[in-house]
Amino acid sequence: MTNMNQTVARETADQATPVVAVEASKPAHGSVEEGKTVGKPFSDKAKFKLRDVEVFYGENRAIKNISLDIARNEVIAFIGPSGCGKSTFLRCLNRMNDSIDSCRVTGSLMLDDIDIYDPKRDVVELRARVGMVFQKPNPFPKSIYENVAYGPRIHGLANRKADLDEIVENSLRKAGLWDEVKDRLDATATGMSGGQQQRLCIARAIAVSPEVVLMDEPCSALDPIATAKVEELIAELSESYTIVIVTHSMQQAARVSHRTAYFHLGNLVEVNETSKVFTSPEHELTESYITGRFG
Ligand SMILES: Nc1ncnc2c1ncn2[C@@H]1O[C@H](COP(=O)(O)OP(=O)(O)OP(=O)(O)O)[C@@H](O)[C@H]1O
C-alpha cells in the first residue's frame, strides 16, 4: 500500500485537484507512441495478462493496442481524462461490453490460464470470478438479505439455509455493513443510505467468492464519509481480492491503489507505483494530467 496518506491531504474524494504542485502556467505537452507504455505495466504475479488489446465501437477505436498485467491481490487505479477509455478497458475484464452491439474487442485477454474472450466461455461463470461494482449503487428492489443471497443461490454455493445465512453474514461483515443491518435483514435495500447501498453492492459482489472486483467510479455518488468507508473497505478487501478501480479522483487513486495506470485518448501512457505516478511521473502527459493542466 502507498504511503500517500502522508503526502496527500484527505479531501473529498471526488475533487480532482493536482497532487503535485508545479507551475500552473506550464502548457500540457508530450505525445504518446501507440502501444508503448512507460513505467512498469508488467508483473511476475499476473492475474490478468492483457496483450495488444483494442476495442472498437463501430469504426471508433476506443482502446489502442494496450498491453498490461494486473497482479494478484493488487489494487490498480485507472485514471485519465474523460473519454480516454478507462471504463471501456475495465469492462473488457469481465466482458461487460458484450451487451453493446457495436463493440468489438481484439487482442489477448487472459485471466490466469483462461481466455476471457473464448467464444465458448461461460460469461456468467466469468462474472462470478470477476465481479463488478458500478458508479451508482444498484441494489435489487428486494430485501438486504436477498440482495446478498441471490448470487450464491444461483451459483449453487449453498445447499442449506444455514450455509446461505453464513455466506450472507460473512459478506456483509467483509463489506463493513453487518453491524448496521443485522437487525433488519428483511428490510428493503432501496431504503438504505447511498453509502450503505454501495457497500451492499460490494457485499453482493463478494458473496460469490470472486477473485477480482472491478469498481467503476464506486464513490462518485457518495458523500465524503461514505467514500472514506468504501476506501477503507478497498484496503481490507485487497488482502483477499484483486481490485481494479476507475476513478476521477487522483486523491482517491493515491489513497487506495498500489499501482496507477494513466490513460490518454485510448492509449495506456504510463503504469507505475502509485507513489511514483503522483510524485515523479515518467511521462510528460501523466505529469500534465496530475498537475491539472488538462482533464
Ligand atoms: N456504448 C458506447 N457506444 C459508443 N461509443 C462509446 C460507448 N461507450 C464509450 N464510448 C466511446 O469510447 C470512448 C471511451 O469512453 P469511456 O467511457 O471508456 O471513457 P472513460 O475514460 O471511462 O470516460 P469517463 O471518465 O467520462 O467515464 C469515448 O470516445 C466514448 O465516446
In one-letter notation, the amino acid at residue 106 is T
Task: Write out the DSSP string of 77-96.
Answer: EEE-STTSSHHHHHHHTTTG
**Positive or negative torsion for Cα 265, 270, 272, 277:** negative
Return all residues near 188 (Cβ < 8 A) that are at least 6 apart: 141, 142, 143, 144
The stretch 287-292 carries a mean pLDDT of 94
Neighbouring C-alpha atoms within 13 Å toward the C-beta of 38? 18
| Residue bearing the CA closest to ligand 1, atom 29 | 83
Please report the atom of ligand 1 found closest to the CA of residue 248: 25
DSSP bridge pairs for 51: 108
Mean residue pLDDT across the chain:
90
Give, using CA atoms, the residue closest to atom 23 of ligand 1.
Answer: 83
**Ligand 1 proximity of 84 Cβ (cutoff 6 Å):** yes
Confidence of residue 295 (pLDDT cuts 50, 70, 90): low
| Structural domains in the chain, sorted by start | 33-290 (3.40.50.300)
Q: Which atom of ligand 1 is nearest to the CA of 80?
A: 21
Q: Is 88 in the pocket of ligand 1 (CB under 6 A)?
A: yes
83: Cβ below 6 Å to ligand 1? yes
Ligand 1 pocket member 249 (CB < 6 A)? no
**Measured between alpha carbons, how far is 15 from 80 in angstroms, rounded to an integer?**
14
Q: Which residue has the cell 488489446?
A: 53
**Dist. CA 60 → ligand 1 center (Å):** 10
Distance 85 CA to ligand 1 centre (A): 6
Is residue 128 pLDDT above 50, yes or no?
A: yes
List beta partners, residue 131: 213
Q: Give the residue among 267, 280, 238 at the shortest CA–CA distance from 255.
A: 238
**pLDDT band (50, 70, 90) for residue 30:** confident
Give residue 6's pLDDT.
38
Q: Is the CB of 256 under 6 A from ligand 1?
A: no
* Whether residue 295 has its Cβ less than 6 Å from ligand 1: no
* Whether residue 25 has pLDDT greater than 60: no
- What span, in angstroms and rounded, lies between the C-alpha atoms of 178 and 160? 21
Region of residue 54 (phi > 0: left; psi between -120 and 50: alpha; otherwise: beta): beta
What integer pLDDT is reported at residue 185 of this predicted model?
A: 98
Question: What 3-state class would DSSP assign to 225?
Answer: helix
Please indicate whether residue 41, judged by its CB atom, sits closer than 6 Å to ligand 1.
Answer: no
Mean pLDDT of 234-251: 95
Q: Compute, in angstroms, the gap from residue 63 CA to the centroid of ligand 1.
A: 10
Going by CA atoms, what residue is nearest to atom 5 of ligand 1?
57
Q: 3-state DSSP call for residue 270?
A: strand
Decide: helix, strand or coil at residue 179: helix
Output the residue whose Cα is nearest ligand 1's atom 31. Answer: 83
Contact 120, 104 (CB under 8 A): no
Average pLDDT over residues 140-160: 95
How many Å lie between the centroid of ligand 1 and the Cα of residue 100? 12
Whether the complex's predicted ipTM surpasses the cut of 0.95? yes
